[in-house]
Amino acid sequence: MAKKKKEEVKFVRKPIEKTEEVLKIERKLVALYSLQQIDSRIDRIKDVRGSLPLEVQDLEDEIAGLETRIGNFALEKSSLERQITDKELQAKESLALVEKYKKQLNNVKNNREYDSLTKEVEFQELEKQLAEKRIGEYKEKLEAIAEEVKLVQQKLKERKEDLDAKKAELDGIIKETEREEKILLEKSAENEAKIEDRFLAAYKRIRNRERNGLAVVEIENGACGGCHNKIPPQHELDIRMHKKIIVCEYCGRILTDDEIGAMVKENLKLDDGE
Closest CA to 51 of 197, 205, 169, 178: 169
Give me the pLDDT at residue 76, please: 96
Confirm if 253 and 32 have CB atoms less than 8 A apart. Answer: no
Give me the pLDDT at residue 11, please: 36
* Torsion over CA: 253, 259, 261, 267 (sign): negative
Helix axes 111-194, 20-49, angle to 10 degrees: 140
- The amino acid sitting at 166 is K
Query: For 230, which DSSP code?
Result: B
Domains of the chain: total: 2
pLDDT at 269 over 80: no
152 and 246 both lie in a single domain: no
The domain boundary, picked from 142, 176, 210, lies at: 176
CA dist., res. 132 & res. 76, Å (int): 20
The CATH code of the domain that includes 117 is: 1.10.287.1490
44 and 59 both lie in a single domain: no
Query: What is the helix (H) or strand (E) element at residue 224, kind and residue range?
Result: strand 223-224
72 and 117 both lie in a single domain: yes
Q: 222 in a domain, yes or no?
A: yes
Query: For 219, which DSSP code?
Result: E
User: What is the average pLDDT across 115-139?
Assistant: 94
67 and 148 both lie in a single domain: yes
The domain boundary, picked from 176, 206, 226, lies at: 176
226 and 253 both lie in a single domain: yes
Instruction: For residue 22, name the pLDDT band (cuts at 50, 70, 90).
Output: confident
Give me the pLDDT at residue 131, please: 94
Give me the pLDDT at residue 17, please: 67
157 and 98 both lie in a single domain: yes
pLDDT at 57 over 80: yes
Three-class SS of residue 149? helix
CA dist., res. 63 & res. 70, Å (int): 11
Instruction: For residue 10, name the pLDDT band (cuts at 50, 70, 90).
Output: very low
Instruction: Supply the range of the domain harboring residue 72.
Output: 51-176
